[in-house]
Chains A and B, each alone.
Chain A
Amino acid sequence: MDTTLAVRKPGAVLGDRLEVSTSELSRRLVDGAAAPVLLVTGTPYAPGLDAVTGDLLWQAGVREVRIRETVRADDGLLHFLRFLREAASHDIEVVWESAGDLGCDTRLLYHLPPRAGDPSWRSAYRYGLCHYRVGPGFVTVTDQRRGPAVPFTLRNPQEIGLVQDLDRPGPSDESSAFAGLLRSGLIISNGRDALCLPYRLRRWPIPCTVI
């Protein structure tokens, strides 16, 4: 055996980056044909993106996703936010840009990977900033988007149902549970559809006591 240790400049490995379109992304992840850095082309809310979960990205060893197309405040936005939330749930970096205003209070999104050129968002972002944990008959929510705060507990089955159902964009409704979650910023709505904003905490950071 050769006993000398070869050393080279970083970033020279072939296959570290992979260009992939939104529509193919989930299939590539399932096939295990991914790379640490993904350059994603195509519209950022094509159905392909809807099938991507945080677990899938994580298991495929993805560290960073770069979205080529500019994100707009239109009907697809909730789908894109869902994707961001999934990436955030495993602390996977997402590089993305938006064209102008997102049409919502961006402070509600501070727990998601910050968009380019938004220093307040970048400095507020931290893993676990807004997440929930599931227990028997209750859900514990930690929401520090507006600053330090202690966790609170949801026990109302309708609220818990909404948190689960709106894991993907789904119809807004007239219930008081819906109105309550909307008021507290745990769901976001475009008038027709809505999405649950906190992610379920799947991976504990080190140290696990800081979030």
Chain B
Amino acid sequence: MRICLVSMPWHLLETPCLPIGLLRARVDACRDPHTVVDYYGNLRWAEYLLDVSGGQIAEAEYSYVADRGVWHEMGEWIFAGALYDDPAWRVDTYRAYLEARNLDPGASLRMREHAAGFVDLAAREILEERPDLVGFTTTFQQNVSSLAVARRIKQLRPDVQVVFGGGNCDGPMGAALHRNFPFVDHVVSGEGELAFVALLDALSEGRAPAGVPGLVTRGPDGESVAGPPAAMVPIDMVPRPDFTAWWSAYGDGRFAERLSPVLLYEASRGCWWGEKHHCTFCGLNGTTMKFRAKPATRVWDDITHLVETHGVLDIVTVDNILDVAYLAELMPRIQESGWDLRIRYEVKANLKPDQLAALRDAGVTHIQPGIESLNSRALRLMDKGVHGTQNVFLLRASDEYQLTVDWNYLYGFPDERAGDYRPVIEQIPAMVHLQPPSGSVRVLIERFSPHFQSRERGFAERRPSRMYQHVYDLPESELEDLAYQFEAPPQGIDEDVASDLRAAIAAWRHDHAASTLTWRETEDGLVIDEGRAGRPRCEYVLSDPAQARSYRLMERPRTIAALARELAAEGFAMSEETLRRWVGELRGAGLVFEDDDRVVALATNRRPLRVAEVG
């Protein structure tokens, strides 16, 4: 068979498409040989927009819809007019939605005018490849552009088989897609490595593919027939991705000279933390939480191959969580290479200093540690398994190890109280020299999360997010199965506390660039340089050795009792009461952060190297 694998907008322009890279490599496991071609509808759309707008709608406008619009189904709305053959489709609903939230539409309104023309062009370009089967991969906002092109393909060539797969097809979402869009012949729900091969084998042998695990297909009367749930894919069946076709499409296209490419890599699936304690808001890993990781040697071989083949040193790993074994087995190997990599990794927040050093030395420059909150009680409600002070430690240590941290402050958890936020809000001005969160938002209810799965958790009255209203012509009962994001009446803290938190974080973001707080050992003792915005420049001098030593011990989070014991062991005996008074003094000057009877130092051991964002 001739197979065309398609990645539509709004997949990012600078990255290959990982599922296509994997599935293309898996086709080799089929019984019959097949020819695979890729079609990067995302790149073609962005080029199309450049052309029709005379260069006015370019990569920045595209990224706005991909990155910001993803929270509002902007990209889906742009193509919904083409899907429903109605240029005016839900324009008013969309405008009202944006206005109510004071959102900038970006170039979305102008983009919509060009969507139908592009859909026709894309369908024809795909058909020029003479495919027997077209596979669309859909995550984030790739549903509607894919559906629109699939529909057009079926109008032009009804005999072509159309298959959908990807994050948007996981669990009931895949069945809903299949049920509601009759021009989709098959949907692979969940991991594709086994199901796609089984589907291709059935089709090339002329068998009906009904019964393939993880596949939804059509019965004799066009009705949806779901196979049994897919078996979990063993990690050694996850191949090294093949990005060669993407690389030439990208290189031949017009964005190679405007963007810098970033490779994607997947070393593991599932989450070892979530297997034991599923964070209550987390919808990652759809149906399979079971953690599986490639052996470090394979990861190293894959990375070497990808870096050498493409000459790209920037890598984003899509793992949900770093395999702890990689710290000892993989990172030193990468470090030995001597290559100047820049790797992004999602990690658990309880990393120790030597582990952070191992990451940095290997070129992991960017981490997403799932910080979410700085209060232990709120973190317990989320089942995060870390203390507030551990998170603050990680923020401070990240500056010391020169790691960029991505994080968000989440609130709105059932059973949380104002008291879980007020003390943090009060201490935020002391932390402005540390990396601020990108923002603070009321937690969203994601499919597959514990918040979603059990209504007793407090979000009983949930319904599909409003944003789906300006996209789909479907009743709420169908959206219930198709949607990924849900909303419910707010839980936890009220708007008063929430707006104070947001204001404190906005001030943190504003003051960060101009703030430092560093300590150094001098002949006079431990000296802390005050350089935080909003405070007069000064030096705090901890000349008493007990003062200096206690501050150094507080570099790692400790309870006051533990701190007193350690100080006593080092010959600095003092009562817990004295120590409390001292910690109170430090907190008064904003030199420590306290939460849940634990304390952690805030001053960093050297000033971080920062570069301001341009533009």
Residues from chain B with a CB closer than 8 A to the CB of A99 are none
Q: Is the CB of B544 within 8 A of A205?
A: no
* Residues from chain A with Cβ under 8 Å of B339 in the complex: 133-136
Please encode chain A, from 94 to 135, with 1 for each CB lying within 8 Å of some chain B CB and 0 for all others. Answer: 000000000000000000000000000000001110000111
**Contact assessment for A13 and B522 in the assembled complex, using a CB-CB cutoff below 8 Å:** yes
Q: Check B522–A15 contact: CB distance below 8 A.
A: yes
Stretch in B241-249, B256-264, B441-449 with 4+ CB within 8 Å of A:
B256-264
How far apart sit A12 and B614, CA to CA, in the bound complex (Å)? 35
Chain A residues, Cβ within 8 Å of B260? 150-151
Given the interface contacts A3-B578, A134-B340, A136-B339, does A205 sit within 8 Å of B543 by beta carbon?
no
Question: Which residues does chain B contribute within 8 Å of A201, judged by CB atoms?
Answer: 340
Interface contact A1-B547, CB-CB below 8 Å: yes
Residues of A close to B612: CB separation below 8 A: 126, 210
A8-B313 contact, Cβ under 8 Å, with A135-B340, A206-B399, A211-B611: no
A206-B609 in contact (CB<8A): yes
Closest to A204 in B: B365
Q: Does A72 contact B (CB under 8 A)?
A: no
Interface check B127, CB cutoff 8 A: no
Contact of A206 among B338, B524, B608 (CB under 8 A): B608
A92 → B minimal CB distance (Å) = 10
Report the separation of the CA atoms of residues A207 and B404 in the bound assembly, to the nearest whole angstrom.
5
B530/A10 in contact, CB under 8 A = yes
Assess whether A7 is interfacial by the CB under 8 Å rule: yes
Q: Which of B291-340 contact A (CB under 8 A)?
A: 304, 307-308, 311, 313, 337-340
Asked if A135 contacts B365 (CB within 8 A), the reply is: no
Interface contact A200-B340, CB-CB below 8 Å = yes
Contact B589 A135 (CB under 8 A): no
Q: Would you give the 0/1 interface string for A59-76, flagging 1 where the beta carbon is closer than 8 Å to chain B?
A: 001010000000000000
Give the total number of A-B pairs whose CB atoms are below 8 A apart.
137
- Are B539 and A7 interface neighbours, CB within 8 A? yes
Cβ of B522 and Cβ of A2 under 8 Å apart? no
Is B497 an interface position by the 8 A CB rule?
no
- Which residues on the B side are within 8 Å of A14 (C-beta)? 522-524
| With A1-B544, A210-B614 as contacts: A133 and B404 at CB distance below 8 Å | no
CB distance from A202 to the nearest CB of B (A): 8
B313 partner, pick from A6, A12, A133, beta carbons under 8 A: A133
Cα A28 to Cα B610 in complex, Å, equals 27
Question: Which residues B517-532 have CB closer than 8 A to chain A?
Answer: 520, 522-524, 527, 529-530
* CB interface residues, A 176-211, toward B, < 8 Å: 200-201, 203-211
B residues near A11, Cβ cutoff 8 Å: 539
User: With A6-B543, A127-B609 given, is the CB distance from A135 to B311 under 8 Å?
Assistant: yes
Instruction: Give Cα A61 to B540, complex, Å.
Output: 20
Contacts of B342 in A (CB 8 A): 133, 204, 208
A15 touches B538 (CB 8 A): no
Residues of chain A within 8 A (CB-CB) of B491 are none
Asked if A161 is at the interface (CB within 8 A of a chain B CB), the reply is no
Which residues of B have CB within 8 Å of A133?
313, 339-340, 342
Complex Cα gap A9–B538 (Å): 5
- 5 extra A-B contacts, CB within 8 A, seeds A2-B544, A11-B539: A63-B607, A134-B338, A135-B339, A150-B260, A206-B435
Can you identify 24 A-B contacts, CB atoms within 8 angstroms? A1-B544, A1-B550, A1-B574, A1-B578, A2-B547, A4-B585, A7-B541, A10-B529, A12-B539, A15-B522, A126-B614, A133-B340, A133-B342, A134-B338, A134-B339, A135-B308, A135-B313, A135-B340, A137-B308, A138-B311, A205-B610, A206-B609, A207-B611, A211-B611
Residues of A bordering B, CB below 8 Å:
1-15, 36, 61, 63, 90-91, 126-128, 133-138, 140, 148, 150-151, 153, 155, 200-201, 203-211
